Amino acid sequence: MAPSTLRIIWLYPDLLSTYGDRGNLLVLAHRARARGVEVEPMQIRSDQHIPQSADMYLIGGGEDGPQAVAAERLLDDGTLARAADDGRPILAVCAGYQILGESFYANDRCHPGLGILDLRSDRGESRAVGELSGEGHPGLGVGSITGFENHGGRTRLGEAVQPLAHVSAGTGNDGVAEGAWAGHVIGTYMHGPALARNPRLADVLLAWAVGVDPAGLPPLDDTWPERLRSERFAALAPE
Ligand code: GLN
């Protein structure tokens, strides 16, 4: 049954919040309210305990130092892994995405991740910076995806996750696949912020949170997001 008020937690704004990632929270709140669902957005800093009772958890990107600190605090806290087990939707971007895996590299050292997603991240030979686009996994029904990436890590997916998308421009995990999903957990290298550029991805998360099929959500006027998307895809088209 749909919760009367959707509690969405933006995690660790003091450590992980680059390239407008907090915009994901704003997009979700807007798209829920436009459909008559009340939203209670909450920001939980890294020195606070994470409430277990939220309907969705968002975590953003960051530099290596804050990323390693965030991973230690999330491991100590334990709430995020329990939320994933309970089927609560989680969206994790870049550093946050790497943290959800089994392990990741930061400042030339391998760190344990939360083990929520079956994947491992290590260092690439060069930094991946620029536009990222691809074709979303058909099982998610999100169509083409578009974002901005800036990361040194590369990610190898295990068998228990699906790629979020097949890369057509940019790098994503490894130049072939971008992001990962399993259950109600999605990880991505897309900043931009990801949900402003991919409203169908936002709707998949909302549908999971309220317990309906994404196709069952009332449509919204997406004229402006579609303009933004067209502009970004056109920027990648050969001259
Ligand atoms: N520190 C990580 C990397 O460089 C994540 C970067 C980010 O979140 N933008 O791979």
Catalytic residues: 94, 191
Q: What is the C-alpha separation between 167 and 70, in angstroms, rounded?
A: 28
What pLDDT shows up at residue 202? 98
Residue 214 is given by DSSP the state G
- The mean pLDDT of 196-200, rounded to a whole number, is 97
What pLDDT shows up at residue 3? 66
- The mean pLDDT of 100-116, rounded to a whole number, is 97
Helices 23-33 and 199-210: crossing angle in degrees, nearest 10, is 60
**Percent of the chain predicted with pLDDT > 90:** 94
- The mean pLDDT of 214-225, rounded to a whole number, is 94
Q: What is the C-alpha separation between 90 and 202, in angstroms, rounded?
A: 11
pLDDT digits (tens, 9 = 90+) for 118-168: 999 999 999 999 999 999 999 999 999 999 999 999 999 999 999 999 999
- The mean pLDDT of 3-14, rounded to a whole number, is 93
**For the domain bounded by 5-236, which CATH number is listed?**
3.40.50.880
- Out of 59, 94, 126, mutate this one to test ligand 1's pocket (max ligand atoms within 8 Å of CB): namely 94
Q: Is the CB of 101 under 6 A from ligand 1?
A: no
How does the average pLDDT of the chain come out, rounded?
Answer: 96
Return the exposure string of 71-102: e unless at least 16 CB atoms fall within 10 Å of the residue's CB, then b. Answer: bebbbebebbbebbeeebbbbbbbbbbbbbbb
Q: Is the CB of 27 under 6 A from ligand 1?
A: no
CA of 9 to the centre of ligand 1 (A): 21
Q: Is the CB of 66 under 6 A from ligand 1?
A: no
CA atoms within 13 A on the CB side of 107: 9
Closest ligand 1 atom to the C-alpha of 61? 8
Shortest CA distance to 137 belongs to which of 198, 193, 88?
Answer: 198
What pLDDT shows up at residue 1? 43
* Residue 238 pLDDT > 90: no
17 falls in which pLDDT band (50, 70, 90)? confident
Q: Look at 3 and 113; give whichever has higher pLDDT.
A: 113
* Residue 117 pLDDT > 70: yes
pLDDT digits (tens, 9 = 90+) for 69-87: 999 999 999 999 999 999 9
- The mean pLDDT of 205-233, rounded to a whole number, is 95
* Residue 189 pLDDT > 60: yes
